[in-house]
Structure 1
Amino acid sequence: MVDGAWWPCSRNAAAELPPLIAAVDQRLGRTILRIGVYRDAWQHIPRRIPARGRQVRVGWFRHSDPRVITLVFATGEPIALLLIPPDTAAGTAEAALKLTAQDTTGLATDDILILASLPPDPAIHATSRAGTTDSPARWENEGGSVIAQKASTSDTPASAPA
């Protein structure tokens, strides 16, 4: 589930994340401390971004939803934003933005994309791993574990994807 949506102009994280941080700081009055992104969805990912008297840490994952970025604040719950691909047609992107501004309680990311008629992003979809998750507490670039634990083949039966 997501709390909102974001439609960046490019996949350059160094160029796109600073304006997002400034907008969230101003509109929500909350201080972002960390941002989590799907590594293969972005180019030029900095480790830190200067923002109003602080450095915002940027973590990247390979085991998370490639269509979501996470904003972690000094206080309160993190916010998950649906990432609308930069090359999305204006009408489709606006539909997704409007939809996420409404009550999306109970809607998964896929449901929002389908309702907004937003096609899967081939640049992200080709490298994503279905069914994997990661926590903002486990940042790959800060020494967190990036290797999924292997299930013992003798103890765990193989399961088909849902």
Structure 2
Amino acid sequence: MTTTLDRTTPGDLAAELPVRLSLTPKTILAGQLDGAWWPHSRELEAELPPLIAALSQLWGRVTRVTVNPTRWPVIPHTVAVDGHTLHVGWFTEQDPDKLILLSYTVGRRDLLVIPPETPPAAAARLMTAAVITGRLLTAGALAANEAVIGHGIRDTQRREADWESEGGACMSPYGSPMGPTAHPRPANGRR
């Protein structure tokens, strides 16, 4: 018997996978967020280098990042990114669903952070909602809205599955599917 072991760590995978990022278009209507980021894991040391490399092309060198520690199990003080050091800080007062980036050339940018375990459909909705120009919802409000929407979608899917498992037929008050014979016949025997 042959066994193949995958010795790839989540950090190694994050460096190989594309950055899942959506950014607001350049307009004069500023909103609460400058975009959304959907990391592949909760390892900041592995996830930040590809993100910062992608953003550096658009915003110049990002020098600092801040997060809320409730979403990240390990927060390194510094991360090496393309030959320079990125300083990472954390604040418990910061919105847990937001990443703040600081750059000398652009200033401050705020990104909605979509949890890595988010289903693709929900992540797509969040990435789209975060980049609407002039949107005044915070990262936390968008995440809360998605939780409500996602719960409603799951309820609808469950109800549809129940419907299909019952054969899509209406149930009689007696618990059996209503077919042509489930209706009472008139006294004269005709329908």
Shorter chain as denominator, the TM-score bin is 0.5 to 0.7
1:12 is aligned, of 21, 43, 52, to 43
Q: Does 1:89 align with 2:113?
A: no
SS of alignment partner, residue 107 of structure 2? coil
Question: What is the alpha-carbon distance in structure 2 between the residues aligned to residue 118 and residue 32 of structure 1?
Answer: 31
Matching residue of 1:2 = 33
Per-residue CA distance 1:102-156 (angstroms, 9 max, x = gap) = 21432233443355x246xxxxxxxxxxxxxxxxxxxxxxxxxxxxxxxxxxxxx
CA apart distance, 1:7? 0.5
Matching residue of 1:23 = 54
Matching residue of 1:130 = none
Per-residue CA distance 1:12-54 (angstroms, 9 max, x = gap) = 111111111111112x141100000111211232111112231
Listed as ranges, the gaps of 5+ residues in structure 2 are 1-31, 149-191
Question: What is the alpha-carbon distance in structure 2 between the residues aligned to residue 52 and residue 36 of structure 1?
Answer: 19
How many residues are aligned here?
A: 118
Question: What is the alpha-carbon distance in structure 2 between the residues aligned to residue 13 and residue 110 of structure 1?
Answer: 20
Higher CA-based Rg: 2
Matching residue of 2:136 = 106
For residues 41-80 of structure 1, what are the structure 2 equivalents within 5 Å? 41-80=71-110
Listed as ranges, the gaps of 5+ residues in structure 1 are 120-162
Question: What is the alpha-carbon distance in structure 2 between the residues aligned to residue 24 and residue 118 of structure 1?
Answer: 28
Structure 1 residue identity aligned to 2:111: L
Q: TM-score, normalised by structure 2?
A: 0.56
CA apart distance, 1:9? 1.0
Structure 1's consecutive aligned runs of 4 or more residues displaced over 3 angstroms after TM superposition are: none
SS of alignment partner, residue 78 of structure 1? strand
Question: What is the alpha-carbon distance in structure 1 between the residues aligned to residue 94 and residue 138 of structure 2?
Answer: 14
1:32–1:73 Cα contact (<8 Å) kept: yes
Q: TM-score, normalised by structure 1?
A: 0.65
CA RMSD of aligned residues (A): 2.0
Question: What is the alpha-carbon distance in structure 2 between the residues aligned to residue 56 and residue 29 of structure 1?
Answer: 15
CA apart distance, 1:79? 0.5
Structure 2 residue identity aligned to 1:22: A
Structure 1 residue identity aligned to 2:56: D
